Amino acid sequence: MKFLLGVLITLGSMGYVYADPESDREAFVKFYAERFANVDMQDHKDGAYALDKAKRAQWLEMEEFPPYELAVDEGRALFSVPFSNGESYASCFDHQGIGVKQQFPKFDMASNSVITLELAVNQCREANNEPVLDYLGDEMGYITAYMAFTSRGEHFDIQVPDAGLAAYEQGKQFFYERRGKLDFACSSCHMTAAGNLLRAEVLSASVGHATHWPAYRFKWEQVGGLHKRFIECNEQVGAVGLAPQSEAYRNLEYFLTYMNNGMELNGPASRK
């Protein structure tokens, strides 16, 4: 499997695309099913709490009064505020923006690029002559937390059309490619070392990584999106964190979310 992934990454870097997303996903799921044979695949939506019984019990108690609850309430209020032209977020999304997070990220034929939920929120604002939001700011976190909350119980069904294969392949390459002073890839922690301890924390499996964002992290003391976590991970291995919603991170999210197809959404979530 490692040899095959290495070959695909090499070919992708040479400009060729030999992507078979569904075969990739099946191999991805099989890897975790064999590594964690006693864990139901759907339980990985809870991240490391699927692998650590003691911390899972603490986390479930905390979920009775979750720290992201206020963010969801703030997001609900912000989502309903009309723009200056009388339109609203509801006019920009299917089903008026309710229960649509499982559609994202998606490949957009018109722009020939991956559109994440956060990018779609700002595109909606731009289309209605409103200033864009800071991708790492509270307001973006609140709005996407509310939208994620309305999609709880839905399942990812991300599509990769032929035109999106290059973006998918670039995201896959990013996931498996080593970088930084520590020479780590995303897969180093979340495949090779998944289930092991890093300091005092159990490393989660990537098979559930896209399900629960945005998340309230106690380290951040705020709700933040998946790209904030990408930036943090890159910096932790001694690499340069890219800008949120950069093409590389959007493609990484595209690949990672496709790997999570069939998984139940349960965002927003709380994490340490």
- List the structure tokens of 162: 């032929």
Known catalytic residues are 233
Q: Return the amino acid letter for 229.
A: R
Q: What is the largest CA-CA distance in the chain?
A: 55
Residue 117: its H or E element: helix 117-127
Burial of 40 (0-12, 13-18, 19+ CB in 10 A): exposed
Residue 161, preceding peptide bond in cis (omega within 30° of 0): no
Residue of 105, 149, 148 whose CA lies nearest to 249: 105
Integer Cα distance of 180 and 143 in angstroms? 33
Contact 171, 259 (CB under 8 A): no
